[in-house]
Structure 1
């Protein structure tokens, strides 16, 4: 079964002193293009987080975000005494007549006069965060699987349309050969040239053999069936489907170049239209 590269996952961890929200989004990309936004307090675990994502997400343009909301009780406040003293000295130089006691309320509103610190990251907290990260990734992959089911139906429909169009080619093959022979005969009559009838028949047979599309029809049918088979197999991926769609396109193009028939050309154009839809959707397959 196939999965989409587009997806979204979210998980929330509630701790006594903080709330941690993990969000992960993914879009199309040929490789894993990972961007992370992690608070500095947890930056030491960034490499491990990246490894977890790489192992479970595989491919896509992935944005990972960790948001932390601290409860007031989780913050340890300390006065930055040296900075407060320096602020008072600076203010006294500007307003020497104002007492330090009167300046203190103003100084306390200045930046960085209070230091907020947290305890070091514990193993228990990191273990809980790690599980939350995995939960968000699992939610992302569930989303991708659901999107993949929709993609599967669409891709199967497009391929079946090509197979159905292929069956319409047969009705024009006999007419196509007759039309080609008549065109050559008419041209020779216009030239009023004497020809060796045996040689003419040999050349005609050789020419018609070059225009024979039996092999192209067989290969096109096989490639379409192989495409559907790969969609339904476990571990199928967009790159493989892209390669198969290239083979399908090669056979359709050869059919078009050999057709020499207006109605067959119209069928080929319709096939190409379905193939473009396949190529576009295959780019979104994981």
Structure 2
């Protein structure tokens, strides 16, 4: 088609009846360029759909596997933090500074240093004061609640499904109890345990933010 048009155009130009046609004009002529429409093939379309679906399923499976692996690693880290909290709670349980007799002896030394007369102290009054101090500084309830929170957190980590919000609530409870342990402490050893507890609880809270 294009050859015929060019030949005819050349003859007309030689005879002085026309000028050379432009490239746009030639391409615009019907039949110069044939555009063949693709004939739909149901089998090809079905094959493409199967390929796309298979790729999508594979991508989803990889994502799920990746999230599951990430969840297992995070659960392992959190269980490690809970182990450390449990260890510190046990140390606080056994700390000798919580014993009434230890408090009485410390109180007697402090009073003796102030009065310079250790032998003149009323032992009954001294024991009563020591018992009162021990009661006010008792962290039995805090330690019991910390232990309960540890068990609850481990139960949540063993569950399937979203547990992030409930773990976040427990992390706040851990923080509250550790603050109370520090505020009630009447000895350097117990204060040190309470401060270590706060550090581990803060680490736990940070990790919990990564859980759905």
1:159 CA displacement: 0.8
Match of 1:156 in 2: 79
Q: Secondary structure at the match of 1:166?
A: helix
* Structure 2 equivalent of residue 171 of structure 1: 95
Higher RCO (Cα < 8 Å, 6 or more apart):
1
Q: Equivalents in 2 of 1:249, 1:187: separation in Å?
A: 37
Q: Which residue of 1 aligns with 2:171?
A: 245
C-alpha separation in 1, matches of 2:88 and 2:140: 15
Partners of 1:245 and 1:275 within 8 A in 2 = yes
**5+ residue gaps in structure 2?**
1-18, 29-36
Q: Which has the higher strand share?
A: 1
SS in structure 1 opposite 2:160?
Answer: coil
The one of 230, 236, 254 equivalent to 2:156 is 230
Aligned to 2:142: 216
Deviation at 1:148, TM superposition (A): 1.2
- Cα deviation 1:140-160 (Å, max 9, x = unaligned): 111011111111111111110
| RMSD across aligned positions (CA) | 3.9
2-structure distance, mates of 1:275, 1:118: 66
Whether contact under 8 Å (1:152, 1:231) holds in the other structure is yes
Q: Normalised by the size of structure 1, how large is the TM-score?
A: 0.50
The separation in 2 between residues aligned to 1:140 and 1:219, in whole angstroms, is 38
Q: Is the 8 A contact 2:167 2:208 kept in 1?
A: yes
Q: How far apart in 2 are the matches of 1:210 and 1:118?
A: 88
Q: Is the 8 A contact 1:230 1:236 kept in 2?
A: no
Call closer, same or farther: CA 1:99–1:238 in 2, change over 3 Å: farther
Q: TM-score, normalised by structure 2?
A: 0.65
Could you say if the C-alpha distance between residues 246 and 269 of structure 1 is closer, same or farther in structure 2, counting changes exceeding 3 Å? same
Whether 2:107 is the aligned partner of 1:181: answer: yes
Provide closer, same or farther for how the CA distance between residues 119 and 189 of structure 1 changes in structure 2, counting only shifts above 3 A.
Answer: farther
- Count of paired positions: 176
| Distance change in 2, residues 1:282/1:100 (3 Å) | farther
1:101 is matched with which residue?
A: 22
Aligned partner of residue 163 in structure 1, secondary structure: helix
CA distance in 2, matches of 1:242, 1:118: 58
The question of whether the paired residues in 1 share the 8 Å contact of 2:146 and 2:174 is answered with: yes
What's the counterpart of residue 146 of structure 1?
Answer: 69
CA distance, structure 2, for counterparts of residue 179 and residue 230 of structure 1: 44
Asked if structure 2 preserves the Cα contact closer than 8 Å seen for 1:238 and 1:285, the reply is: yes
Q: Who is 1:275 aligned against? A: 201
Gaps of 5+ in 1: 1-97, 109-116
CA 1:176 to 1:222, structure 2 compared with 1: closer, same or farther past 3 Å?
farther
